[in-house]
Amino acid sequence: MSGIKNQVGDWYPLLEPIVTSDYFKKVATQIKKQKAMGLRIYPDTKVTFRAFKMCQFADVKVVILGQDPYHDGSATGLAFANNDQSPRMSPSLHWITKAIEHDYDTLCVNFDVTLEEWAQQGVLLLNTALTVVSGNAGSHVALWDKFTKDFIQHLSEQKDNVIFVMLYLYYGASMLKVMLNTLKEIIKLLLRHTLLPMLTLVVVLGFTLVAHLGTLILFFLVLLNGTRIVVSRCLVSVIQRLFKYTKYV
> What pLDDT, in 10s, does the model give residues 48-66?
999 999 999 999 999 998 8
Answer whether residue 55 is part of any domain: yes
Cα dihedral 113→124→230→246 (10° resolution): -140
Answer whether residue 30 is part of any domain: yes
Radius of gyration of the CA atoms of the chain, in A: 19
* pLDDT attached to residue 146: 92
**Does residue 186 surpass a pLDDT of 80?**
no
| CATH number of the domain bearing residue 23 | 3.40.470.10
Question: What distances in angstroms separate CA 4 from CA 13, 54, 236, one per listed residue?
Answer: 12, 14, 33
What percent of the chain stands above pLDDT 70?
66
Q: For this structure, is 68 an active site residue? A: yes
> What pLDDT, in 10s, does the model give residues 113-156?
999 999 999 999 999 899 999 999 999 999 999 998 899 889 98
> What pLDDT, in 10s, does the model give residues 65-100?
888 999 999 999 999 999 988 778 998 899 888 888
Answer whether residue 52 is part of any domain: yes
* pLDDT attached to residue 196: 44
Answer whether residue 91 is part of any domain: no
* C-alpha to C-alpha distance for 42 and 14, rounded to whole angstroms: 24
- Of the candidates 10, 22, 59, 68, the residue annotated as catalytic is 68
The set of residues, in sequence order, having a beta carbon less than 8 Å from that of 29 and lying 6+ positions away, is none
Answer whether residue 222 is part of any domain: no
Query: Count of domains in the chain?
Result: 1
Which residues form the domain of 32?
1-79+110-159
Answer whether residue 129 is part of any domain: yes
Measure the N-to-C terminal CA separation of the chain; round to a whole number of Å. Answer: 37
Answer whether residue 34 is part of any domain: yes
A 10 A CB-CB count for 190 gives 18
**Does residue 166 surpass a pLDDT of 60?**
yes
* pLDDT attached to residue 162: 87
Answer whether residue 165 is part of any domain: no
